[in-house]
A and B are shown apart, each in its own frame.
Chain A
Amino acid sequence: MTTLNRRFDLRTRLAIPAVAALLVVAVQAPAVAADLPADPLNSPMWTEMGAQFFAGAKVVHAPSIKVVVPSIVEDQAQVPVTVDARAIPGVTRLVVFADLNPIQHVLTLTPRKAVPFVSFRMKVEQGTPVRAAALTADGTWHVGSVYLDAAGGGCSAPAMARKDADWSETVGIAQGKSWRQPDGTSRVRFRVRHPMDTGLSRNNIPAYFIEKLELTAGKGDGLATLELREPVSENPTVTLLLNVPSGESAVKVEGRDNNGSTYRSSIPSSFDQSALDPAPTVSR
């Protein structure tokens, strides 16, 4: 409920880049660094990110990938991020990460019958580059980057739900809706109640988060797989653009958290439902 997060911690803020810088020096392998193009955002963690996510593969910067974040971060625990890699043909995987977050990997989308588009909300611990890396069949990573200016504290703050004594009874309750788009895709918005504990909060709650959402249609026709990590905000709320086969009337979602609980949902998605207008184009 606070306007801006109160759990700002100067030590964390200064310590993470400092440690990160040391790590970079320590692990910098010439073979990796040589292939990695310079970072337009000059992140101290860029080389480390290259090693962590690209492992020597070819990397190119792709300004045509839209990574949209708000100009004002009102709540560090709920920062909306929209990633649109439609400008890159043949995306097989879309990885979102934030260099200066304590946990950098945010999510990975594998679009099978889906558009390389995802929007969600995430926690940030400080101002950080937010990047979307799109892998194409030729093994190249196309990276879109934006700098998110934020004060921080989102990762080390306990989930709001922890204030409710009976929060565990609502875990897994899912809500969702589908809108058929003029281009034939189905825009699916899905929300699932879950604390998404990072394991980094001050009250020592261990990591507890939904790690996978499998979206299918009909008899298990795979549309997309979404792997979520700890930085995704409490009560994950995602928007996806799926190519639901025309004969199908529902999108099924199978979820699993890191405690082994599974979650099942079915979102009605027929041609009877449609949006009135195409979504506006967002850009920064």
Chain B
Amino acid sequence: MRRSSRPSRRDVMAALSASAVAHLLPAFELEAAPLTYGLSAQRLDDGVWMIAGRQEAITQKNGGAIANIVIFDTSAGAVIVDTGPSRRFGEELSALATELTGKPVARVFLTHIHPDHVFGNQAFKPEALAATEGVVKGLKDMGEGYADAMYRAAGDWMRGTELVLPKSVVAAGVEDFGNRRLRLLTMRGHTASDLVIFDERSGFLVAGDLVFLDRAATTPNANLEHWKIALANLGGIPHRLLVPGHGPAENSTRGLDQTRQWIMMIEDTIRGAFDRGLDINEAAALPLPAWTEGIALARYEYERSLTHIYPKLEAERLPQVGGRAR
């Protein structure tokens, strides 16, 4: 994985924290995180649990535990959806899933490439880790960068974390775990490959980060057109409960509606700012609609989305006015 022989931040931190010069480093490098996430599972149904992520950005306080994780009990063993932000989280998740189901972990699905969903992979056998071809490729391309970003954002919680690539490639279809059949739906929009899981037994739809509820959606790898189509498709699947990637699991259309509304709001606001000739900082100062006040991290994610979307608008929409003279 390493692309150069230069030491990464992790190598340097690992070496320095153990050495006599540790006291010379800025204090924030040395803040020791608590040793446990203290995961607790919320029972959603017979043999289905959710570990709720915090409705926050990734910080050194929350250790990156911001995404929802789902555990299914099946006759083949525990089935887990997403592994969380770190090795430590993955290990606690593995232990909790085994305790809840009384069985070893049979399968771990990864919904998409984002770091708050995949850096617990280390706690599981690579053969048990399953993802689409697009996710495996995405992790190969982006994984190292995500690792560095996570070390920076979550700090000591990441100690010992390395990215493990899934060895099982899955496509759309049904996976049979004996008493529980899971339908795998491959979509895109939040990223280039988003896996959605429908549990036939419970009627639950595990939507991954295609759905955010009461927390602003993130767009670093999004295609908003594809995302809106995915939301329409999800709305066409009858389900008893929708588990979003972030936010409460509900038997309602709130998650789908709110995610669509958020996407349309940032599209309109950002496009409107661009059409007036504003720059990114001026666009960042614009007011957001009142309804977004109830959405966690609304302004934070709006500002991030500006960085993702504005350069694309400039490249695509500013008229060509000249070129190289010679």
Q: Contact flags (1/0) for B3-14 with A, using CB distance below 8 Å?
A: 010100100110
Contact status A3-B149, CB under 8 Å = yes
Given contacts A3-B220, A4-B153, A74-B304, contact A175 B321 (CB under 8 A): yes
User: Is chain B's binding surface mostly helix, strand, loop or mixed?
Assistant: helix
For A81, give the chain B residue with the smallest CB separation. Answer: B281
State in angstroms the CA–CA spacing of A3 and B152 once bound together.
Answer: 12
Given contacts A202-B4, A281-B285, contact A264 B300 (CB under 8 A): no
For A189, give the chain B residue with the smallest CB separation. Answer: B277
Contact status B276-A275, CB under 8 Å = yes
Given contacts A74-B304, A176-B318, A276-B276, contact A80 B281 (CB under 8 A): yes
Contact status A74-B307, CB under 8 Å = yes
Contact status A72-B320, CB under 8 Å = no
Contact status A174-B322, CB under 8 Å = yes
Interface flag for B319 (CB, 8 Å): yes
Given the complex, which residues of A lie within 8 Å of B319, measured CB to CB?
Answer: 175-177
B9-49 residues with Cβ-Cβ distance < 8 A to A are: 9, 12-13
Identify which of A5-13, A37-45, A48-56, A137-145 touches chain B.
A5-13
State in angstroms the CA–CA spacing of A171 and B280 once bound together.
Answer: 24
Contact status A191-B318, CB under 8 Å = yes
Interface flag for B325 (CB, 8 Å): yes
Interface flag for A262 (CB, 8 Å): yes
Interface flag for A71 (CB, 8 Å): yes
For A2, give the chain B residue with the smallest CB separation. Answer: B145
Given contacts A2-B142, A3-B145, A70-B303, contact A174 B321 (CB under 8 A): yes
Interface flag for B268 (CB, 8 Å): no
Contact status A82-B281, CB under 8 Å = yes
Given the complex, which residues of B lie within 8 Å of A11, measured CB to CB?
Answer: 12
Interface flag for B315 (CB, 8 Å): yes
Given the complex, which residues of A lie within 8 Å of B177, measured CB to CB?
Answer: none
Contact status A175-B280, CB under 8 Å = no
Q: Contact flags (1/0) for A207-249 with B, using CB distance below 8 Å?
A: 0000000000000000000000000000101010000000000
Number of interface residues of B (CB under 8 A): 44
For A264, give the chain B residue with the smallest CB separation. Answer: B325
Given the complex, which residues of B lie within 8 Å of A268, measured CB to CB?
Answer: 321
Contact status B318-A275, CB under 8 Å = no
B280-310 residues with Cβ-Cβ distance < 8 A to A are: 280-282, 284-286, 300, 303-304, 307-308
B253: shortest Cβ distance to chain A, in Å?
29
Interface flag for A197 (CB, 8 Å): no
Given the complex, which residues of A lie within 8 Å of B300, measured CB to CB?
Answer: 72
Neighbour of A179 across the interface among B144, B277, B284, B325, CB < 8 A: B277
State in angstroms the CA–CA spacing of A189 and B279 once bound together.
Answer: 8
Given the complex, which residues of A lie within 8 Å of B173, measured CB to CB?
Answer: none
A-B contact pairs, 30 of them (CB 8 A): A2-B145, A2-B146, A2-B149, A3-B220, A4-B145, A5-B149, A6-B147, A6-B149, A8-B9, A69-B281, A70-B303, A71-B303, A74-B303, A80-B281, A82-B282, A119-B280, A172-B324, A175-B314, A175-B320, A176-B319, A202-B4, A235-B315, A239-B277, A262-B326, A263-B322, A263-B325, A267-B321, A280-B278, A280-B282, A282-B284
Closest 10 CB pairs of A and B: A265-B322, A172-B324, A6-B145, A175-B318, A4-B149, A2-B145, A80-B280, A119-B279, A74-B307, A179-B277
Interface residues of B (CB under 8 A from A): 4, 6, 9, 12-13, 115, 142, 144-149, 152-153, 220-221, 276-282, 284-286, 300, 303-304, 307-308, 311, 314-315, 318-326
